[in-house]
C-alpha cells in the first residue's frame, strides 16, 4: 500500500502548492543528514523528499489522488533524494537552507523601463500662483521600425536550439549528497529562450531608441525647492518595448531680487530715513499682486516688521496664502551740513536729549558664561 504522502508532509489533502512547499522546506531543514546524521532521520528525510516530489508535480499528484502509483512501480524510495527522479527537488532543498531558488522557465524580453528625472527652473511668481510649462525630455521610446520586437522587419525571434526554449541548461554533477542536477541560464540566448538572428538595424535588437519629445507639465501653486512632480508613464520605455517608467520633474526656484522666501511667507527689507520713521510715511512696494503702499506709522523703530496678510505664497495643501513681512531699517544721517546739524541740535534741545544717559539692559550671556553658571549651580 502506498504511503500517505500528505501525512508524511503533515498537510491536509486539500493543501495548496504553496502550503506543500512550505511544509517540505520546514521538514528539510530539520531532517537534513548534515543537521541530524541519525539513520532513522535519514530514512525520514528520504520519505519527505519522495512525498514532495509526488505532491509538487501536478500529473503525479493527480495519479496519486486517484489511487494509482505515481512512481511507476519503482518502489517507495525510488523517487527519493539522490535517486533518478529526485533532481527536480534540489533547488527546493537549497531554498530550504539558503532561502533562494532558481528561476525556472525563460525570462521575458519585455521589462518595465526605469524612472527618469529632470530639473525645472521657475521664478517666485510661478511658485506662488502655479503655471504650465512646456519641457523637452530625452528618453527611450519604442522603436518604430520593429515596434519593440527587436527583430529586423520581415524576421522574428526563433526558439533557441541550445536550451529548446527553456531559457536554461542543466548538468548532472556528483556531490556529498549524491547526483545533483544544477541549472543555469542558457549562454546562447541569455535565458530568454529565444534568439534574434537578424536584429533590428534601428535599435540593435533592444526594441527602443532614444528620442527628444515635448511634454506639458502643470506646476501647482505653492511648490518649493525640491518639490517633485510625478508624470506617470512618461519615463524610460523598457527593453523589448516594455512599459515606461515615470518621469519626475524636480522644481528649482530661482532667487528674487526683492523677496526672500521662508516657507510660505515672503520677507523683504525697506530702508527709510530717520525723519520718515519719526513722522510716518507711505512707501510704494511692488508685490506679487501689483503695486501697494506700505504704511509706516509715526515712531516706527528700526527692526520692526509690518505684515501684509495674504500676500505671500499660496499654500500647496489647503487654501489661503502666507504673509509678506516688511522689515523696517531706519537710516541714521551722517555728514550733516551745518544748517542740518543746527536743526538737529535744536531738536535735541527741545526733546531734552542733549546729553542722553541711555538705557542699558543685561546683555546676552555667552557660551562660556552659561557653562560657568551651570557648574556653579545658578
Q: How many CB atoms lie within 10 A of CB 125?
A: 13
| Boundary residue ending a domain (213, 238, 253) | 253
* pLDDT value at 96 more than 60: no
Q: Based on the domain organization, do 178 and 299 belong to the same domain? A: no
* CA pair distance 276, 34, nearest whole angstrom: 93
Give residue 14's pLDDT: 84
Phi-psi region of 59 (alpha: psi -120 to 50; beta: other; left: phi over 0): alpha
Answer yes or no: is pLDDT of 112 > 90. yes
Q: What pLDDT does 378 receive? A: 53
pLDDT at 373 (0 to 100):
58
Query: Using 50, 70 and 90 to split pLDDT, how confident is the model at 75?
Result: very low
Identify the weakest region by mean pLDDT among 68-72, 90-94, 172-176: 90-94
Residue 364 resides in a domain: no
Asked if residue 298 and residue 243 are part of one domain, the reply reads no
pLDDT digit string, tens, across residues 301-328: 999 999 999 999 999 988 899 999 999 9
pLDDT at 51: 87
What are the φ and ψ backbone dihedral angles of 134, each rounded to 5 degrees?
-95, 125
Q: How far apart are CA 305 and CA 274, in angstroms?
A: 16
- Whether residue 360 is contained in a domain is answered as no
List Cα–Cα distances, 158 to 194, 198, 211, 239, 281, in angstroms. Answer: 5, 10, 29, 18, 86
Find the range with the poorest average confidence among 121-125, 159-163, 216-220.
159-163
CATH code of 269's domain: 2.60.260.20
**More confident: 279 or 29:** 279
Tell me what pLDDT residue 48 has.
85
**Number of domains comprising the chain:** 4
Same domain, 138 and 190: no
107 within a domain of the structure (yes/no): no
> What single-letter DSSP state applies at residue 68?
-
Same domain (yes/no): 223, 343: no
pLDDT tens for 216-251 read 999 999 999 999 999 999 999 999 999 999 999 999
Asked whether residue 33 carries a pLDDT value surpassing 80, the answer given is: no
Q: What range does the domain containing 41 cover? A: 5-98
The pLDDT assigned to 370 comes to 52
245 and 271: one domain?
Answer: no
Quickly tell me which residue has 541549472 as its cell: 183
Look at residue 105 and tell me if it is in a domain. no
Q: Using 50, 70 and 90 to split pLDDT, how confident is the model at 56?
A: confident
What is the structure's pLDDT at 136? Answer: 95
Alpha helices, H only, the chain = 5-9, 17-31, 39-55, 58-65, 90-98, 124-129, 274-279, 338-350, 367-375
Same domain, residue pair 29 and 12: yes
Query: Cα angle at 125 between 127 and 286, to 5 degrees?
Result: 145
Q: Which of 14-28, 100-114, 361-375 has the highest mean predicted lDDT (pLDDT)?
A: 14-28
Report the CATH number that the domain containing residue 29 is assigned in CATH: 1.10.287.110
- Asked if residue 199 belongs to a domain, the reply is no
Residue 22, in any domain of the structure: yes
If we measure between CA atoms, which residue out of 50, 56, 48, 55 comes closest to residue 27? 48
What pLDDT does 83 receive? Answer: 36
Judgement on whether residues 165 and 294 belong to the same structural domain of the protein: no
Per-residue model confidence (pLDDT) at position 38: 74
Residues 235 and 293 grouped into a single domain: no
Pick the closest to residue 3 from 56, 62, 38, 48 (CA basis): 48
pLDDT of residue 209: 95
The answer to whether residue 365 is domain-embedded is no
Task: List the grid coordinates of 203.
Answer: 535599435
Could you tell me the pTM of the whole model? 0.62
**What pLDDT was estimated at residue 63?**
77
- Give the closest residue to 326 by CA, choosing from 349, 351, 293: 293
Q: How big is the chain, counted in residues? A: 378
Q: Is pLDDT larger for residue 54 or for residue 116?
A: 116
Query: Sign of dihedral through CA atoms 183, 184, 187, 193?
Result: positive
**Rounded mean pLDDT, 318-342:** 92
Cα of 349 vs its chain's centroid, Å: 70
Residue 23 and residue 142 in one domain: no
Instruction: Give 80's pLDDT tier (boundaries 50, 70, 90).
Output: very low
Across all residues in the chain, what is the average pLDDT?
83
How would you class 128 by CB atoms within 10 Å of its CB: exposed for 0-12, middle for 13-18, buried for 19 or more?
Answer: buried
User: Are 287 and 340 found together in one domain?
Assistant: yes
Query: Please, which pLDDT band fits residue 171 given cuts at 50, 70 and 90?
Result: confident
224: cell is 518649493
- pLDDT over 90 at 49, yes or no: no
Task: Note the pLDDT of residue 173.
Answer: 72
The helix, strand and coil proportions of the chain, stated in percent and rounded to the nearest 5, come to 25, 30, 45
Within 8 A by CB and 6+ apart from 207, the residues are: 109, 110, 142, 143, 146, 148, 149, 150, 200, 239, 240, 241, 242
Nearest-angstrom CA–CA distance, 341 and 351: 15
**Shared domain check, 242 and 130:** yes
Q: Are residues 321 and 248 in the same domain?
A: no
Establish if 373 belongs to a structural domain: no
Residue 376 or residue 164, greater confidence: 164
Residue 288: name the closest of 120, 126, 121 by CA. Answer: 126
Amino acid at each position: 500500500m502506498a504511503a500517505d504522502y500528505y501525512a508524511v508532509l503533515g498537510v491536509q489533502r486539500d493543501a495548496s502548492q504553496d502550503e506543500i512547499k512550505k511544509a517540505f522546506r520546514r521538514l528539510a531543514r530539520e531532517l537534513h543528514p548534515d543537521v541530524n546524521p541519525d539513520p532513522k532521520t535519514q530514512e525520514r528525510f528520504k520519505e519527505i523528499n519522495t512525498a514532495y516530489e509526488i505532491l509538487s508535480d501536478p500529473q503525479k499528484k493527480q495519479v496519486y489522488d486517484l489511487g494509482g502509483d505515481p512512481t511507476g512501480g519503482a518502489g517507495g524510495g525510488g523517487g527519493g533524494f539522490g535517486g533518478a527522479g529526485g533532481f527536480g527537488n534540489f533547488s527546493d532543498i537549497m531554498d530550504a537552507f539558503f532561502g533562494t531558488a532558481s528561476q525556472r522557465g525563460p525570462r521575458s524580453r519585455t521589462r518595465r523601463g526605469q524612472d527618469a528625472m529632470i530639473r525645472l527652473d521657475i521664478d517666485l511668481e510661478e511658485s506662488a500662483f502655479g503655471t504650465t510649462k512646456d519641457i523637452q525630455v530625452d528618453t527611450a521610446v519604442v522603436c518604430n521600425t520593429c515596434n519593440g520586437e527587436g527583430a529586423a522587419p520581415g524576421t522574428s525571434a526563433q526558439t533557441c536550439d541550445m536550451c529548446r526554449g527553456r531559457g536554461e541548461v542543466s548538468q548532472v554533477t556528483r556531490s556529498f549528497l549524491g547526483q545533483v542536477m544544477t541549472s543555469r541560464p542558457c549562454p546562447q540566448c541569455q535565458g530568454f529562450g529565444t534568439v534574434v538572428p537578424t536584429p533590428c538595424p534601428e535599435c540593435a535588437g533592444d526594441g527602443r531608441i532614444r528620442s527628444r519629445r515635448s511634454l506639458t507639465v502643470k506646476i501647482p501653486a505653492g511648490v518649493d525647492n525640491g518639490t517633485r512632480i510625478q508624470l506617470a508613464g512618461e519615463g524610460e520605455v523598457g527593453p523589448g518595448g516594455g512599459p515606461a517608467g515615470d518621469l519626475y520633474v524636480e522644481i528649482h526656484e530661482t532667487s528674487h531680487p526683492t523677496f526672500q522666501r521662508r516657507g510660505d511667507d515672503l520677507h523683504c527689507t525697506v530702508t527709510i530715513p530717520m525723519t520718515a520713521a519719526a513722522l510716518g510715511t507711505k512707501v510704494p512696494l511692488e508685490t506679487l499682486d501689483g503695486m501697494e503702499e506700505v504704511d509706516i506709522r509715526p515712531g516706527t523703530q528700526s527692526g520692526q516688521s509690518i505684515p501684509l496678510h495674504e500676500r505671500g505664497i499660496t499654500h500647496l495643501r489647503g487654501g489661503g496664502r502666507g504673509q509678506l513681512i516688511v522689515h523696517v531699517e531706519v537710516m541714521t544721517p551722517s555728514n550733516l551740513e551745518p544748517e542740518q546739524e543746527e536743526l538737529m541740535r535744536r531738536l535735541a534741545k527741545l526733546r531734552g536729549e542733549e546729553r542722553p544717559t541711555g538705557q542699558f539692559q543685561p546683555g546676552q550671556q555667552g557660551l562660556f558664561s552659561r557653562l560657568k553658571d551651570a557648574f556653579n549651580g545658578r
